[in-house]
Structure 1
Amino acid sequence: MKKIISLGIVIVVSLFAFQSCRQGPPIRMAEKVNLDLFMGDWFVIANIPTFIEKGAHNAIETYEREDENVINTTFSFNKDSFTGPKKEYNPTGFVQDDPSNAEWKMQFLWPFKSEYIIVYVDPAYEYTIIGRTKRDYVWIMARKPQIDQRELERLIQIAVDEGYDRNAIQLVPQEANKKP
């Protein structure tokens, strides 16, 4: 029964929340993303969440290259508290824009693919911002579960400069050095 409910959630997300058509002015894309450096764990520090992410604690997005332009993704979090039930989703990313590698399509359920834009990644690959042209969702992520408040404000300002509503961006609770 849980698998049927989870599949239903993924279908709804795929059909409504992650529509792949672009709507809105162009969004900035990172100039060049080194996919090998981008792989690994990213802690979600702040976001405008999709409905499945509401209440997420210890949210982590993990990327692993399957092929040159195919990225296996694991998105995991604890639901509603640090000790809440663990949730995990495994979409596949497809890199669309060569040579920047900043535009992906994320597929939760075949054949639907959603827009996934690497708006920013710092030169050390410690911080990234993922966005969409619609400005409906954004993810501010870091390699560590906690970041300096000034750095967080700088990253939020980048998202705001790209057209995101500052008031809609929420912090994601993270326990230091803990994976769900």
Structure 2
Amino acid sequence: MIRVILMYVATFVAISFNAMAQNTNELKTVSDVELEKFLGVWYEIARFPHSFERDLVGVTATYSLKKNGNIRVLNQGYKNTLDGKVKSAKAFAKTPNPNEPGRLKVYFFWPFGADYLILDLDKDYQWALVGSSSPNYLWILSRSPQMDDGLYKSIVAKAQSLGYDISKLELVPQKLEE
């Protein structure tokens, strides 16, 4: 557990320093996010590989509102198989600028925050394309553990149009809906 948290910390520290060196305003985020609709469980459909999620499947991100207005973040997945040991990491997120609700900062280890950029979002909050200030981080999230192939391809095309190297995307195994 400590090792997983330390991997998250190290990665997000690296992202944070990378963000300082880059202009994060290059990527356009969604202009309207209703936080209440964004809260809840999101299934990771695809991602770029990185050390803090290595060998994790069935990954979810659960967002809930804290009393202070920040967002509680719980990321969890299963090691190697969908029946594997659960690995989790807790964090919090906030919107530094209310005029840019699609640009959040996530803190796994204070005071180092990483950009969480909502690049595209379904009008009904059923899927989201999330990136960072670094071109090395990208996630496709869904409210359900499976996604229609046509929809997935259209989101991937959007990511490619934003300059992401989509050849790095890897699908994340999820449990089948019952």
Instruction: Indicate how the Cα distance of structure 1 residues 7 and 31 shifts in structure 2: closer, same or farther if over 3 A, else same.
Output: closer
Instruction: Indicate how the Cα distance of structure 1 residues 163 and 84 shifts in structure 2: closer, same or farther if over 3 A, else same.
Output: same
Shift of residue 129, structure 1, vs aligned partner: 0.8
Instruction: Indicate how the Cα distance of structure 1 residues 174 and 7 shifts in structure 2: closer, same or farther if over 3 A, else same.
Output: closer
* Runs of 4+ deviating beyond 4 Å: none
Equivalence for 2:36 = 36
Equivalence for 1:57 = 57
Q: How big is each residue's C-alpha offset from its partner over 1:86-125, in whole Å with a ceiling of 9 and x where there is no partner?
A: 1001111011231341111100011111111111111010
Shift of residue 6, structure 1, vs aligned partner: 3.9
Matched residue SS, 2:26: coil
Aligned-pair identity in percent equals: 23
Equivalence for 1:130 = 130
Task: Tell me the distance in 2 between the aligned counterparts of 1:115 and 1:31.
Answer: 16
Q: How big is each residue's C-alpha offset from its partner over 1:1-43, in whole Å with a ceiling of 9 and x where there is no partner?
A: x53x344324322322453425257112011000000000000
- Name stretches of at least 5 consecutive residues in structure 2 with no aligned partner: none
Instruction: Indicate how the Cα distance of structure 1 residues 83 and 124 shifts in structure 2: closer, same or farther if over 3 A, else same.
Output: same
Structure 2 length-normalised TM = 0.90
Equivalence for 2:143 = 143
Task: Tell me the distance in 1 between the aligned counterparts of 2:67 and 2:161.
Answer: 34
- Name stretches of at least 5 consecutive residues in structure 1 with no aligned partner: none
Q: How big is each residue's C-alpha offset from its partner over 1:100-155, in whole Å with a ceiling of 9 and x where there is no partner?
A: 41111100011111111111111010010111122110010000000100000011
Structure 1 length-normalised TM = 0.89
> How many correspondences in the alignment?
176
* Contact 1:126–1:142 (CA under 8 A) maintained in structure 2: yes
Moved more, 14-23 or 166-175: 14-23
Instruction: Indicate how the Cα distance of structure 1 residues 82 and 21 shifts in structure 2: closer, same or farther if over 3 A, else same.
Output: same
Instruction: Indicate how the Cα distance of structure 1 residues 63 and 50 shifts in structure 2: closer, same or farther if over 3 A, else same.
Output: same
Matched, 1:90 2:90: yes
